[in-house]
Amino acid sequence: MKTELVAYLLALILGVVVGWILRSIGYRSLKDKASILGAQLLQNQQQSEILKNELASSENSYKELHESYDINRVKANEDNVVLQEELLQLTAKLAETDALLLSGQPVVHALKLKLIEANNTIVRYKSKLANGDGQSV
C-alpha cells in the first residue's frame, strides 16, 4: 500500500509539473501574441492620426478653395453690374446722338459716333479683362 501511495503521489506531482509546464507555455504564447497585437495597435493608432491630419488639411484646402470661388463669383457679379451700367450709359448716348442727327447737326453726330465707338472698344477691353480672356478684339 505504501508503494501505491508513493506511486499516486508521484503521479500527482508529475501531473502538477506537466500541467504547470503546459500552462507556462500557453501563458508565454498568449503574452507574445498580446505584445504583437499591442505593437500593431500602436502602429494603427499612429496611422489613424496621420490620416486624420491629412483629412483636416484637405478639408481646410477645400474651404479655402470654396471661399476663393465665392469671392471671385461676387467680384464677377460686381464687374457685371458695372458693365451693365456702362452699357446703359452708352445706349443713352446713342439715343442722344440719333436725336442730334435728326435735328440736322451731322458734324456733332459724326463726333458722337466716334466717341460711342471708342467707348464700345473700351467696354469690350474691360469685358475681356474681367473675363480673363486674352484673345484679340
At 107, the pLDDT band (50, 70, 90 cuts) reads: confident
Instruction: Provide mean pLDDT across the span 21-25.
Output: 93
Domain count, the chain: 1
- Per the prediction, the chain carries an average pLDDT of 86
What domain range includes position 71?
2-131
Residue 59 lies in a domain: yes
Residue 94 lies in a domain: yes
CA distances in angstroms from 39 to 21, 42, 44, listed in the order given: 27, 5, 9
Residue 98 lies in a domain: yes
Residue 136 lies in a domain: no
Residue 137 lies in a domain: no
Q: pTM, whole model, 2 decimals?
A: 0.43
Residue 40 lies in a domain: yes
